[in-house]
Amino acid sequence: MTNKSKQKSGPSREGEFFEIHIQGHLDSTWSDWLEGLDIELLENGEMVLSGRIPDQAALMGVLNKLSRLNLALRSVNHIQENDGLEKE
């Protein structure tokens, strides 16, 4: 008997979901280089990278890449998923 009772159904659970806020803009062609994270450009000159990151080493890899591009890090947020409830 396998212990699958605690696994959630729905999207892949590989890694944790993060939002990384950055000062500056990159276009969507950088997404692959940044581990496939989604890139949202904000009108205030910032951008938000979001998506699943498999582990802490991968998170540090993304942050190091951003540092090498001389982009200022504003925040890194681990987003808790609440059974399909969206934040407002």
- Tell which residue, 52, 53, 48, has the closest CA to residue 23: 48
For residue 23, list its beta bridge partners. 46, 72
Residue 46, beta-bridge partner list:
23
In tens, the pLDDT along 22-71 reads 999 998 899 999 999 999 999 999 999 999 999 999 999 999 999 999 99
pLDDT above 90 for 87: no
> Could you tell me the domains of the chain?
16-79 (3.30.70)
* Length reported for the chain: 88
Instruction: Determine the 3-state secondary structure of 28 from DSSP.
Output: helix
In this predicted structure, the answer to whether residue 14 has a pLDDT above a threshold of 50 is yes
The SS3 of residue 68 is helix
Rg (CA), the chain: 15
Assess whether pLDDT exceeds 90 at residue 5: no
